[in-house]
Chains A and B, each alone.
Chain A
Amino acid sequence: MDTFDRYVLLLLTALPFFGGLALVLFPSSRPVLIRAFTLLITTVTLGLSAYVFLSYDRSRGGFQMVQQFAWLPSIGASLHLGVDGISAALTLLNGIVAFAGTLVSWKLAQRPKDFFVLFLLLVSGVYGTFASLDLLFFFFFYELAVLPMYLLIGVWGSSTDFRTFLRTKEYSALKLMLYLVAGSVLVWVALLAMWVDGGDALGRSSFGFLDLQSAHYSANFQKLFFPFLMVGFGVLAGLWPFHTWSPDGHVAAPTAVSMLHAGVLMKLGAYGILRIGMQLLPEGAAAWAPVLIGLGTVNVIYGAVSAIAQRDLKYVIAYSSVSHMGYVLMGLGTLDAAGINGATLQMFSHGIMTALFFAMAGVIYDRAHVRDISVFEGLAKRMPVTVGAFTVAGLASLGLPGLSGFVAEFMVFVGTFRTYPILGALAVIGAALTAVYILRLVAKAFFGPLDDRWRGLTDASRLEMGAAAVLIAFLALWGLYPWYIMKVIDSGVAPIVQRLASG
């Protein structure tokens, strides 16, 4: 299987990409064929990403399944693919969410061909970003993952009427796009600076991650450029105060895109901070960690308080994402093994839980055509499975032991208490606030007597239930048995912590 190992990451990235291109040639009049083909692609990529995750050798660590193709030797750029424990776990996450996303978009009626083409391109960009060991291609795939969002939201999204003003889908799509590209402006500048400076240190130009890791940047350089990466990637990770694109964007997006975007794309941001920011610029990270963890705490509290104030079901979930990404940022900011491990597991677990949230919110919106929590009552009577799955996501979100959110948040708390006890206390308060908005929502909208308006609602379809089942299975699996994934993640985190400690 050695040859296969060397090509699996390329295959994983290329399959959705060329699958998406092939889809262009399908006749628009045969939507069933288009969906079936998309499902085939996402099923195979889920299998491949599971293979990557399971065959990753935890005891050996380091980058595995490495493959390199020269691209532009004159500037030292090559298509260099490989995964370590962190990216292997996140690759699996992308496989799961893309698969579940395909299932819940089954009934999409408007221009399904165009939708699935863009959807597959997006998936391909995410796989590529996680697998890239070359900064140019990292950026290449990162942009590829952002690019289809504009059309996915602008064409297939939904507008929200706030009575006093209207948040149109076009507005949300443009806002998301401009914020994210503004973030990548900062990232790009930092990458160029690292390429120039690293090239001087190495004596040759290289965008290679491993090369640049051995180029020792001066402390001043690191302190100057770490914030570029922190803020640039932070925009995508929902870092306060640059998070405002995220609620608008996620609410306006169609269900599968919300799932993929909140579930996986936001993790690209946090992954970028960890992989490029902290691993390549450890001294810069050490200097700016207090800011990162401070902003992360604001994220947690601010997101939770905002979620309490929302009436729109999707806005509650979107702000809860902002809040939960705060734990990820806090975990990274601790620079502590437990904290970073927790942050990475939180990326995974939040990815699954928020995908489940958005999938079930999509099911409800699809049937009821409203998302206003205040008008819902007693939905559990008509949609027991949907409500049950939503509640599981909610429990994972508030950190119920037995689901993966608990393990992740607990580790983040441990890391934070070791380094910044006061912020740790605030983070625990944030978890309590999560319980407030989740339990209130569940009690108000789902339980209690059934309102006559909702008597005609039907429960989730088989495919939607299938999507929910897959997602719940992983929430429970990592909640009850976190050791396997923790060892994989730790094999990637340990070298980073070591670099941070040796500065």
Chain B
Amino acid sequence: MPGVNFNLLWPQLLVTALAFAVFGADLLMRRPQRALLVWISAAGLVGIFVFTLVYLWGRNTTLYDGIFHIDNFSLFFSAFFLVIAVVVVLSSAQYVRQYLTHPGEYYGILLFSIVGMMLMAAAGELLTAYVALELLSFSLYILASYARNEPKSNEAGIKYVLLGAFSSALLLYGISLIYGAVGATRFQDIALALRGMEGVNSLLVVGIALVLAGLGFKVAAVPFHMWAPDVYEGAPMPVTAYIAVGSKVAAFALLLRLFAEGFAPAIDQWRLLVAALAALTMTTGNLVALTQTNIKRLLAYSSIAHVGYLLMGLAALSPLASTGLMLYLVGYAVTNMLVFVCAIAFYNREGKDEISALSGLAGRSPFLAGAMAAALFSLAGLPFFAGFTVKFYLFSATAKAGLLWLAGIAITNSLISLYYYLMVIKQMYINPASQPTPLRLPWPMVALLSVLVLGVLFVGIYPRPVVDAIQAATQAIFPGGMLSTP
């Protein structure tokens, strides 16, 4: 068979092998030894991360006749997903020990979902992308309901499965319509067909809209967001973090490649749709977040709002906007990781996830309160934190694409969001503690939080290395440099 070269899929294969190794070790180990599984998974992921960077650096090729792209874009996202996975694995350790049974399967399934994400970023063809997405989604369905004795977790799992299946159906229907309109499923062939097409093709527009709706479910864009708050609230907390960060980054990797390599020539036919979706998503997310009292639900709506900002980068599709979108993904991921790890650390100690439980945290644990405040300020987009830099970049890129009105809506939204982030800060710093006992964190948590705080500051103050890496990745999906945007 021409073009078959398994070698370039080594990173995915290694993560799969690691997943099986974790399953196997779980069978062979005695109960007390199973705590080691965290370290096996984490060490394995770090090893694969290094291997991936060394092995795939600078490759630019396609596999299986264009079904997979091994380029800077997929390399960037593979590395990104592996880092996210390491953080999620490490932050899960104590939580899994305290609240969940069967650690082996937990880490194994987590690793499978990473494979799905890595394939999503590399997919250059609609059906492959769909299969990769389902690998991710099924892993997440299981993880969301992993606290099997918790009714809320079960509810979260069922909701996620039902709505996920619905969205998959929409996505598949969209794919079939697009195939009907252009006769191709490979992104590059779609673009080729679109370039030769005159006028508006209603079949295509409906197809793109359905694909957008299907993926919109996965990233929780309004009006397809209803599952998110319940799933976030019910799922075990590290899983919530993982859904909020990992699955969204992966879905945007897919969206970005699909729209840049596939749908870009028909940009006039879908730009307004995506822009409207973005405006609706950010506004609804922020307005509903104002009234939340549970930290997980608050973060659910806040992440919906951030998805709105991210969609803006898709509507502004250009190399600059794509750089802005990916930079935003980095800032979003590191900040959300930080805020979720803070919430996990607090939950591990106190078993509470109400915002009011955080009152007086600044006195009880200045470090945890400081880390959480840094994360919230970053989410609100205040300077010195990642949030400011990535927002400024993405909003600038959006304005540059002639969407100043959309950037204006986004800026107004970040004002609204400041209010509810400040309410959490107020609980921690201004309100007195209900029980003023000091709250001590285990050292791995402190170390993990410190690394994440440094990450948030690094992206905020010295983003240049990240931007350089992203620009290299962007070039892979915009081969002609600048595409023919108006």
Contacts and interface: CB of A to CB of B under 8 A. Distances in A.
Among B395, B396, B430, residue most surrounded by chain A Cβ atoms (within 10 Å): B396
A181 B400 contact: no
B471 interface: yes
B287 interface: no
B407 interface: yes
Contact of B388 (A114, A140, A193, A205): A140
B377 interface: yes
B415 A178 contact: yes
Contacts of A74: 320, 323, 467, 471
Interface stretch (B36-44, B129-137, B246-254, B419-427): B419-427
Contact of B383 (A141, A174, A185, A192): A141
Contact of B415 (A174, A181, A195): A181
14 contacts: A71-B464, A72-B467, A74-B467, A75-B320, A139-B392, A140-B388, A144-B382, A151-B429, A185-B412, A189-B407, A192-B396, A192-B399, A193-B404, A195-B400
Interface in A108-157: 114, 136, 139-141, 143-144, 147, 150-151, 154-155
Nearest to A77: B392
A417 interface: no
A196 interface: yes
Contacts of B400: 195-196, 199, 205
A178 B399 contact: no
A75 B411 contact: no
A127 to B, nearest CB: 14
A177 interface: yes
Please classify the interface of chain A as helix (H, G, I), strand (E, B), loop, or mixed, using the class held by over half of its residues.
helix
Please classify the interface of chain B as helix (H, G, I), strand (E, B), loop, or mixed, using the class held by over half of its residues.
helix
Nearest to B319: A74
Number of chain B interface residues as a range: 20 to 34
Nearest to B402: A196
Contacts of B430: 151, 154-155, 170
Contacts of A376: none
Interface residues of A, number: 32
A273 B125 CA distance: 52
B404 A189 contact: yes
Contacts of A454: none
A143 B464 CA distance: 21
A141 B430 CA distance: 25
B383 A144 contact: yes
Contacts of B404: 189, 192-193, 196
Contact of A192 (B388, B395, B414): B395
B467 A185 contact: no
A188 interface: yes
A182 interface: yes
Interface string B293-310: 000000000000000000
A155 B429 contact: yes
Interface string B105-118: 00000000000000
Contacts of A205: 400
Nearest to B391: A188
Given A72-B463, A72-B464, A174-B422, 13 more contacts: A154-B429, A155-B429, A170-B426, A170-B430, A181-B415, A188-B395, A192-B395, A192-B404, A196-B396, A196-B400, A196-B404, A199-B400, A205-B400
Nearest to A207: B396
Given A136-B392, A147-B383, A178-B418, A189 B408 contact: yes
Contacts of B429: 151, 154-155
B384 interface: yes
B270 interface: no
B415 A150 contact: no
Contacts of B173: none
A140 B383 contact: yes
Interface string A167-205: 000100010011001100100110011011001000001
Nearest to A137: B383
A147 B382 contact: yes
Q: What 3 pairs across the A-B complex have the smallest Cβ distances?
A: A192-B399, A140-B383, A154-B430
Given A147-B382, A189-B407, A177 B396 contact: no
B411 to A, nearest CB: 5
Contacts of A199: 400
Interface string B241-278: 00000000000000000000000000000000000000
B80 interface: no
A94 to B, nearest CB: 18
Among A71, A136, A196, A205, residue most surrounded by chain B Cβ atoms (within 10 Å): A196
Contacts of B323: 74
A147 to B, nearest CB: 5
Contact of B393 (A75, A155, A178): A75
B390 to A, nearest CB: 11
A341 to B, nearest CB: 32
B383 A143 contact: yes
A71 B388 CA distance: 14
B383 A193 contact: no
Nearest to A151: B429
Contacts of A72: 393, 463-464, 467
A70 B400 CA distance: 21
Nearest to A121: B384
Given A74-B471, A155-B429, A182-B415, A150 B396 contact: no
A398 to B, nearest CB: 38
Nearest to A195: B396
Contacts of B425: 150-151
A170 B422 CA distance: 11
Contacts of B320: 74-75
A178 B419 contact: yes
A143 B378 CA distance: 12
B380 to A, nearest CB: 9
B189 to A, nearest CB: 31
Given A189-B404, A196-B399, A143 B393 contact: no
Contacts of B467: 72, 74
B411 A143 contact: no
Contacts of A151: 425, 429-430
Among B323, B383, B419, residue most surrounded by chain A Cβ atoms (within 10 Å): B383
A154 B411 contact: no
Contacts of A75: 320, 393, 396-397
Contact of B384 (A136, A144, A193): A144
B367 to A, nearest CB: 10
A136 B426 CA distance: 28
Nearest to B385: A147
B422 A143 contact: no
Nearest to A177: B422
Interface string B417-447: 0110010011001100000000000000000
Contacts of B464: 70-72
A143 B426 CA distance: 19
Contacts of A154: 426, 429-430
Given A71-B464, A178-B418, A181-B418, A143 B471 contact: no
B399 A143 contact: no
Interface string A48-66: 0000000000000000000
Nearest to A70: B464
Among A136, A151, A177, A188, residue most surrounded by chain B Cβ atoms (within 10 Å): A188
Contacts of A144: 382-384
A154 B422 CA distance: 11
Contacts of B411: 185, 188-189
A153 B239 CA distance: 37
Nearest to A194: B399
A74 B463 CA distance: 11
B286 to A, nearest CB: 13
A381 B393 CA distance: 60
Among A177, A182, A185, residue most surrounded by chain B Cβ atoms (within 10 Å): A185
A494 B412 CA distance: 36
Nearest to A205: B400
A403 B422 CA distance: 42
Contacts of B377: 147
A378 B55 CA distance: 83
